Amino acid sequence: MHTFIMGIIFLILGGWLYGNICERAFRPDDRKTPAYEKNDGVDYVPLPKWKNALINLLNIAGTGPILGPIQGILFGPIAFITIPIGCVIGGAVHDYLSGMISVREGGIQMPELVRRTAGKWMHKIYTVFVCLVLFLIGVVFIYTPGDIAATQLFGFGGTAKEPSTWVIYAVIFAYYLIASVFPIDKIIGRIYPLFGAVLILSAIGIFAMLLTKDLPMTDLMTYRGSINPDGGLLSGKYILPAFLLAAVVILHLYHRFAGRIKDGKATGVYFIFGLILILTALAVFAVMLIRGYDLVELWDPHTAHGFNYNFYFESEHFIPVFFVTVACGILSGFHSTQITLVTRTLESEKEGRTAFYNMMIAEGFIAMVWAAGTMAMISLGAEQAGITIAQTDAGWSYLANVNGVIQPISATSVVGVVCKNMLGPVGGMIAVIGVIILPVTSGDTALRSMRLILADTFGIKQDSSRKRLLLALPVFAAAFLVLIWAKIDPNGFNTIWRYFGWSNQTLAVFALAAITIWMMQHDRKKFMWLPMIPLSFYAFITCSYLLSSKIGLGLPHNVSIIGGLLFALAVTTAVVVKGSRH
């Protein structure tokens, strides 16, 4: 566990030191922020620092910092070093400078910054990538919460042949469509009195049952269950009531803590969801320390239960695959499209470091914890309620004890294995519900944003629900078709995740290029190396991955590495030349 602890220490101390450097480079001051200069009571409105921080964390943290590290840890303990380094000098720099430049420029969004700095043609290419990323986020953030809910919460198989899988997907689809087209806050507000009454009666009933039935409560420090020991955290005759109760609880919290409505969302409820996200990571971290799970060290033989991390490292090509796989756990271009929403509610430029830089460090901590949790489960093995890694017809697969049978599970199901093994039934259920909610809070935004971008690009008016619906339906139909393919194909989710990771990192290259040019144009040339380091590195990663991967051109690895280096050199040179012209 020493390698993991060293990585956490570097993440915290490195984040503090590098954050100081970034702050000194940007030079935040006491000028009025857009929240005060353009205050309209809707989008531009000052919010407290803690609320801005949590809103931003929830906006940027879907299942990316969870599922990416779950897959990335298969490369071995090197992940405990590369994740914190990447967060400190890459992801957090990208997020901080994206947010601060937006604040300084009046709350503009990243597409407008790209247009101003890189030109109209680059802006058009960037818009294509934005739409691609938003579309894939919509698909991934339907697949992952639906799969986790089906397999880990309700105890279904989660396969394409089961009607329950598509019922759960349909519920998420319906919510996304409503949130994308209709004023969701007004619709929900009309039915909250009924939901609130049901919530209170359900809670009283469950509380009474716990007292009268004397049901056993498993101790957190001793519980080590198996995946789906009784069909799931909630199963049998309790599935339908539990499903309805979960929906009621979520809707009630949404209403109860909704102090403000911003972009169709209740910002107050982010406190609850953000708290669940952070506490889950802290709980897993604490349990790992107390129980002393066996984590592979960087200097030890990299094997666990027959799985050879070194072999995976070499056969799967750590560079560039690891950085595309971990994606949001290190750097995410999607963040630059979401952070600018918070720049309109910041009370002071000096709060930007907390809201932007530190929240990416927090996301890095979450990524580290889930990577370590997965490695701990691999060290236990499927026979001990953990995970076994083996090669199957679909490639490398996670195996777990499902109702007494060792069989393949998806990467999304690993979430349930970690939660239930480390946090017990009750804590595990809370954590799983939190992980289900996380992508939903980002997925609805992604598809709504895509609709708005398409409307702006093609000049389609969105002044009525009918027009919004007509534009949204083709997008949702395409997402549904991709989702069907992902469920039917044994390697479908892995393929979609790699496309998502690559396009997401490519989007970050555009943002970092715009940031570098802006800094050169605004008397900050001596600090342009801050965004240029991740710019050059990820230009290399995205190009070499596209050249070498099966979802790309499939060229030999050595050829792809050379091509990636040449592309990175060309991109860096072009950015410096562009920035020097002004």
Tens digit of each residue's pLDDT (9 = 90 or more) over 396-421: 888 888 878 888 888 888 888 888 88
Half-sphere exposure of 242 (CA within 13 A, CB side): 16
User: Count of CB atoms within 10 A of residue 164's CB?
Assistant: 16
Mean pLDDT of 127-148: 88
User: Count of CB atoms within 10 A of residue 488's CB?
Assistant: 11
| Strand bridging mode 395-402 / 388-392 | antiparallel
8 A C-beta contact, residue 399 and residue 387: yes
pLDDT reported for residue 23:
96
Which range has the worst mean pLDDT, 67-81, 111-125, 183-197, 415-429? 183-197
User: How far is the C-alpha of 553 from the C-alpha of 469, rounded, in Å?
Assistant: 37
Tens digit of each residue's pLDDT (9 = 90 or more) over 304-361: 778 889 999 988 999 999 999 998 899 999 899 888 778 988 999 999 999 999 999 9
User: How far is the C-alpha of 298 from the C-alpha of 276, rounded, in Å?
Assistant: 31
pLDDT reported for residue 7:
95
Where does residue 168 rank: exposed (0-12), middle (13-18), buried (19+ CB within 10 A)?
buried
Tens digit of each residue's pLDDT (9 = 90 or more) over 58-76: 778 777 888 899 999 999 9
Helix (H) or strand (E) holding 533: helix 529-548
pLDDT reported for residue 177:
82
Taking phi over 0 as left and psi of -120 to 50 as alpha, with beta for the rest, 511 belongs to: alpha
Q: Residue 222 above 50 pLDDT?
A: no
User: How far is the C-alpha of 44 from the C-alpha of 146, rounded, in Å?
Assistant: 34
Report residue 445 as tokens: 């935004």
DSSP H stretches of helix in 149-233: 163-181, 184-213
DSSP single-letter state for residue 43: S
Provide the 3-class DSSP secondary structure of residue 248. helix
Helix (H) or strand (E) holding 470: helix 465-488
Residues comprising the chain, all counted = 582
Max mean pLDDT range (45-54, 460-469, 520-529): 520-529
8 A C-beta contact, residue 337 and residue 79: no
- Mean pLDDT over the full length of the chain: 81
Look at the block and give the residue holding tokens 């690993």. Answer: 414
Helices 64-72 and 492-521, packing angle to 10 deg:
110
Is the overall model pTM greater than 0.85, yes or no?
Answer: no
Where does residue 549 rank: exposed (0-12), middle (13-18), buried (19+ CB within 10 A)?
buried
CA angle 238, 432, 420 (to 5 degrees): 85
* Rg of the chain on CA atoms, in Å: 23
Q: Residue 53 above 90 pLDDT?
A: no
8 A C-beta contact, residue 268 and residue 257: yes
User: How far is the C-alpha of 437 from the C-alpha of 510, rounded, in Å?
Assistant: 29
Return the closest-CA partner of residue 334 out of 89, 94, 19, 143. 94
8 A C-beta contact, residue 539 and residue 509: yes
First to last CA, the chain: 50
Higher pLDDT, 565 or 227: 565
DSSP E strand boundaries for 282-368: 303-304, 307-308
Mean pLDDT of 269-295: 74
User: How far is the C-alpha of 393 from the C-alpha of 374, rounded, in Å?
Assistant: 22
Where does residue 31 rank: exposed (0-12), middle (13-18), buried (19+ CB within 10 A)?
exposed
Cis peptide bond upstream of 320, omega within 30 = yes
Taking phi over 0 as left and psi of -120 to 50 as alpha, with beta for the rest, 381 belongs to: left
Look at the block and give the residue holding tokens 């921080």. Answer: 53
Max mean pLDDT range (108-112, 381-385, 444-448, 572-576): 572-576
Tens digit of each residue's pLDDT (9 = 90 or more) over 155-194: 788 888 888 889 889 888 887 887 777 654 444 444 434 4
Residue type, 509: V
DSSP single-letter state for residue 382: G
Provide the 3-class DSSP secondary structure of residue 219. coil
